[in-house]
């Protein structure tokens, strides 16, 4: 009995650790891509934890976090694949919170794409 309780506590603490640290690195990643890479690594660990817990909603959230990190390091094609896959899952659930998270990530993708196109245009004109 103690081992089950201890394991549940360990999993809960680990999840909180990944979430808080990942969020902090993601925020720092806006100004330094080194931190975005660390946030991405933590998002992968969160995905693995969600898979071990067999929690598809938590896993979806973690994939969206990972997509945000990919957007920060300009890996837009990979981020787009993840977003598309998660959008299908979210659509099947009709979950309001997940839909809101998805919309936020899509907005960040839109900004990154338009910024990249603007940068490309500026390089062409010079």
| Ramachandran sector of residue 75 (left: φ over 0; alpha: ψ -120 to 50; beta: rest) | beta
CATH of the domain at 90: 1.25.40
The pLDDT score that the predictor gives to residue 8 is 55
Instruction: Tell me the pLDDT of the chain (126 aa) as tens digits.
Output: 556 555 554 555 665 545 554 565 555 556 678 888 888 899 999 999 999 989 999 999 999 999 999 999 999 999 999 999 999 999 999 999 999 999 999 999 999 998 877 665 445 444
Tally of structural domains, the chain:
1
Burial 38-75 (b: 16+ CB within 10 A, else e): bbbebbbbbbebbeeeeeeebbbbbbbbbbbbbbbbeb
The confidence score (pLDDT) of residue 18 equals: 53
Query: What does pTM read for this prediction?
Result: 0.79
Range of the domain at 31: 2-125
């Amino acid at each position: 009995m103690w081992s089950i309780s201890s394991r549940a506590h360990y999993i809960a603490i680990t999840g909180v650790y990944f979430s808080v640290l990942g969020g902090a690195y993601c925020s720092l990643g806006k100004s330094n891509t080194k931190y975005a890479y660390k946030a991405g690594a933590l998002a992968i660990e969160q995905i693995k934890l969600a898979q071990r817990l067999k929690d598809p909603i938590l896993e979806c959230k973690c994939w969206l976090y990972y997509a945000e990190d990919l957007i920060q390091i300009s890996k837009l094609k990979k981020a787009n694949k993840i977003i598309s896959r998660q959008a299908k899952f979210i659509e099947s659930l009709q979950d309001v919170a997940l839909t809101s998270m998805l919309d936020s990530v899509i907005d960040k993708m839109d900004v990154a794409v338009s910024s990249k196109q603007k940068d490309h245009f500026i390089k062409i004109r010079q």
